[in-house]
Amino acid sequence: MTEYQTITAADTVTRDGAIKLYDADGFAGMRKAGRLAAEILDALAPHVVPGVTTAELDDIVAGMTRTAGAVPATLGYRGYTHSSCISINHVVCHGIPSAKTLKDGDIINVDVTPLLDGWHGDSSRMYLVGDVGVKARRLVDITYECLMLGIDAARPGNHMGDIGHAIQAHAEKHRYGVVRDVGGHGVGRVFHDAPEVVHLGRPGTGPELKPGMIFTIEPMINIGRPDVKVLDDGWTAVTRDRSLSAQFEHSIGITDDGCEIFTASPAGRHRPPYF
């Protein structure tokens, strides 16, 4: 049974299993936090070049987040100690920033979640490092299309399964694997809230989408099999078959006639190449 809970500015919000329905104040808060996430991802683009370390990129995220009066929600989250997740090539998600340098031909995902005035703006994009091969670029393109097709299905009256189905159908048409083990999530006052957003499914199944719902869509798509494993560091998720993986993420809110994307790029850097 799916429980929905109406949230106004005065309410304390906890991860209690209910799907939250936010009001105009919530949408205004998410608009600001989401815009900051997008500006951070915009600003990273010129810095993603061969030779840069992922720790250096993480420092840029940390600096911009704090300058804007926000805090990286990942810092101290379940023991995580960085301001972003940076996932290279076969890393599916939750890659830990380090002294590792990017090399020509890599594809990377940077995932940021500034917490601004109590609102979580959660978004990630892919970046191409130098000259990237055609297979990897195609994976990145199709993954972006999967996200946007999922967003197209995000409107009142539809169900979560419609979003998952749209993503799965497009990925599998291209013979890619859709990751099942990690999904999107309710977001807003809480970083990871109900409902779970599964990036596969059957039309008409799962919770009904209602105005006021705020959640992420963040498909992880593999050139190979969908299976992932988590490395001994407890975070880094990689494809079991070591095939390349890509991901894009937006935070969105369901409106009366569709949805609002809170994390759209103000600079128009929606998908690479960004220059």
Q: Which residues bind ligand MF3 (CB under 6 A)?
A: 74, 77-78, 80, 85, 94, 111, 113, 122, 216, 218, 235, 249
Cβ 228 vs Cβ 261: under 8 Å? no
Q: What is the smallest separation between the CB atom of 77 and ligand MF3, expressed in angstroms?
A: 4
Applying CB under 5 A, does 111 fall inside the site for Co ion? yes
Pairing verdict, β 114-116 and 119-120: antiparallel
Instruction: Give 89 or 113: the residue with its C-beta nearer to ligand MF3.
Output: 113
In angstroms, what is the minimal distance from the CB of 113 to ligand MF3?
Answer: 5
Residue-level length of the chain: 275
Torsion of CA 206, 207, 209, 212, to 10 degrees: -150
As a whole number of angstroms, the distance between CA 109 and CA 127 comes to: 6
Single out the segment in contact with Co ion by CB under 5 A; choices: 38-46, 196-204, 242-250, 258-266. Answer: 242-250
DSSP 8-state symbol, 96: P
Closer CB to Co ion, 111 or 162, in the complex: 111
The runs of H, that is alpha helices, within the chain are 24-44, 54-67, 134-152, 160-173
74 binds, among Co ion, ligand MF3, none (CB under 5 to 8 A by kind): ligand MF3
Out of ligand MF3, Co ion, none, what residue 94 binds, judged by CB under 5 to 8 A for its kind, is: ligand MF3
Write out the binding residues for Co ion, residues 246-265 only, by CB under 5 A.
Answer: 249
Cβ atoms of 194 and 18 within 8 Å: the answer is: yes
Residue 251 DSSP code: E
Q: Taking contact as CB under 5 A, which single stretch among the options 115-123, 153-161, 199-207, 263-271 is the one that binds Co ion?
A: 115-123
List of residues contacting Co ion (CB under 5 A): 111, 122, 124, 216, 249
